[in-house]
Amino acid sequence: MLFRSKLAALFPSRLKRKGKCQQQINRIPDLGILPVLKCWPHDGGRFITLPMVHTMHPETASANVGMYRMQILNKNTTAMHWQRHKTGANHFEAWRRTGKKMPVSVALGGDPVYTYAATAPLPENINEYILAGFLRKKRVNLVKCITNDLFVPEDADIIIEGFVNPSEDLVWEGPFGDHTGFYSLADWYPKFHVTCITHSHKAVYPATIVGIPPQEDSWIAKATERLFLSPVKLTLQPEIEDFHMPDAGIAHNLVIIKINKSYPGQGMKVINSLSGAGQLMFTKYMIVVSGEIDIRDYKSLLHHVFENTDFTMDLSFTYGPLDVLDHSSDNFSFGGKAGVDATIKLPEENSGRNNISNSDNCDISNLKVDILESDIIKSYNIDLIIANLPIIILSVDRSQDSDVIEKVKGLFRTKDIEGICRLILVVDHTVDITDMFMVAWQILGNTDPRRDHEFISPLSVLIDCTIKAYRKGGFPRKWPNVVCSGSETISSIDQKWSSFGIGTFINSPSNRYLRLGRKGSDEILVD
């Protein structure tokens, strides 16, 4: 009873008065009063990037707060980018069936925990302000909007009220330089009509800029790792000890899970269970480990994975839903996934297992002469092999030879490489193969795990991590370029740096990635 009482004290409360967020009321709304940013050169316009979008189901009255970017169309309309997997989109479809307009209100600012709660991977129909109250240890006070019946935080800075008409034609939204590090391409989304803008007397407009990781959203992912470990253990898999979403994997491309293993097959059991759990359904690569291993020490983690993984037995490939922002799959929001059981194997799991020990003294001289120095390979990195990790990174120019991946596979099939290399990663020639973060981000972003892996020997796998726009036969979808600042912006900031008074000069991060773009900085698509 005491626990219930304490929990109830954290539930949101509806006030019967106006809130701080309604000190100024603009019934003739003009979004031009807000300093909305155009973040990247090829964005389709200016975007509100930290909106807490409030919706309600028309039948159950269950409320939801989600974060969906909003492109400014004119002074009183925006696009509303709620993706097909999101609760906002579910509410939209429910309102469509009623034939009525859908009330929508957008909160900006207030307690920063509201922003986090709007992004948190909560189960549907769990109120985000319950989580916010729990995190800040006091309830969230809500007030009714002026022009619709939705409730918003009393202490928000700005509220944008309005509606979406489900019977209205969709609008063309995007492109947008997204948190994937690539442009998400334009598509059709609902139009949001603004009926009123309210704000506090000293309102602050909040915004974030996403792009090539790590950006601010990476820290939100780190918070999720800590906050949701206990709920996942309690409700899904009690054997989970830790999980980690590396920055290069942009939260859903790679998840590493550590378990307390006690019986054979437990690693695969965890993979199968979590692959459909909440936001983990979008995960492309899921690696499960056990034992005394720090899953944030990547070098040690890689050693552990290779010591405990037989590719012929410990890889599982499936199809399933992907985030709509994923550009690598042949089909929109649907593609391949891979699970890797890298747990320490028990005696019952050793039957038929290959000898997977790695040699401390790999002789790569013949490999270098016969394969790596071939004309079709633009560069190679064997630093990981030197560190006793059986991984080679190669770069090729697929834009000049659409059949180059098959040629690379042919080169490796002519040699006995199992004692030297178990994983061959092939990236584009524009990738700096000495930059492990860049390599990892490109691998995770540009691959469909099921489509792009191939065994070139019983124990060795090659993964094609190149741009698929250049593959033989072409690609059925548009392939976006990476997100970088334009050369004019970089030059302008460089010239103004000393006047900012913010310390030692820092080169634009975009300078590292401009070479990854194709057809120059004026193109959004790879052709």
pLDDT tens by residue, 103-150: 999 999 999 999 999 998 887 778 999 999 999 999 999 999 999 999
The pLDDT assigned to 363 comes to 62
Tell me the mean pLDDT in the region 410-424: 81
* Stretch among 46-50, 224-228, 261-265, 428-432 having the lowest mean pLDDT: 224-228
Give the active site residues: 178
Of the candidate ranges 102-106, 224-228, 339-343, 356-360, the one whose mean pLDDT is the lowest = 356-360
Concatenated DSSP letters of 482-520 = BP---HHHHHHHHHHHHHH--SS----THHHHGGGSSS-
- Name the strand (E) or helix (H) holding 265: none
Element (H, E) at 420: none
pLDDT tens figures, 47-56: 999 999 999 9
Taking phi first (over 0 means left), then psi (-120 to 50 degrees means alpha), and beta for anything else, what does residue 436 get? Answer: alpha
- Three-class DSSP category at 283: coil
- Supply the DSSP string of 136-197, one letter for each residue: HTSPPEEEE-SSSS-EEETT-SEEEEEEE-TTSPPEEE--EE-TTSBEEPPEEEPEEEEEEE
pLDDT computed for residue 27 by the predictor: 96
pLDDT of 459 reads: 86
- Residue 35's pLDDT is 98
If one compares 522 and 53, the residue with the highest pLDDT of the two is: 53
What's this model's pTM, rounded to 2 decimal places? 0.92
* Structure tokens given for 419: 């004692």
What's residue 365's pLDDT? 65
pLDDT value of position 356: 63
Strand (E) or helix (H) holding 340: strand 334-342
Q: Which residues of 12-41 are buried (b: 16+ CB within 10 A; e: fewer)?
A: beeeeeebbbbeeeeeebebeebebeebbb
- Inter-helix orientation angle 128-136/112-119, to 10°: 140
Distances (CA, A) of 44 to 82, 187, 316: 17, 11, 39
At 243 the pLDDT is 93
The pLDDT assigned to 280 comes to 87
pLDDT band at 357 (very low <50, low <70, confident <90, very high): low
The phi and psi torsions of 461 (rounded to 5 degrees) equal -120, 135
194: amino acid identity, one letter: V
Question: Quick one: pLDDT at residue 521?
Answer: 45
- What's the average model confidence in pLDDT over 80-96? 94
Position 517 scores a pLDDT of 87
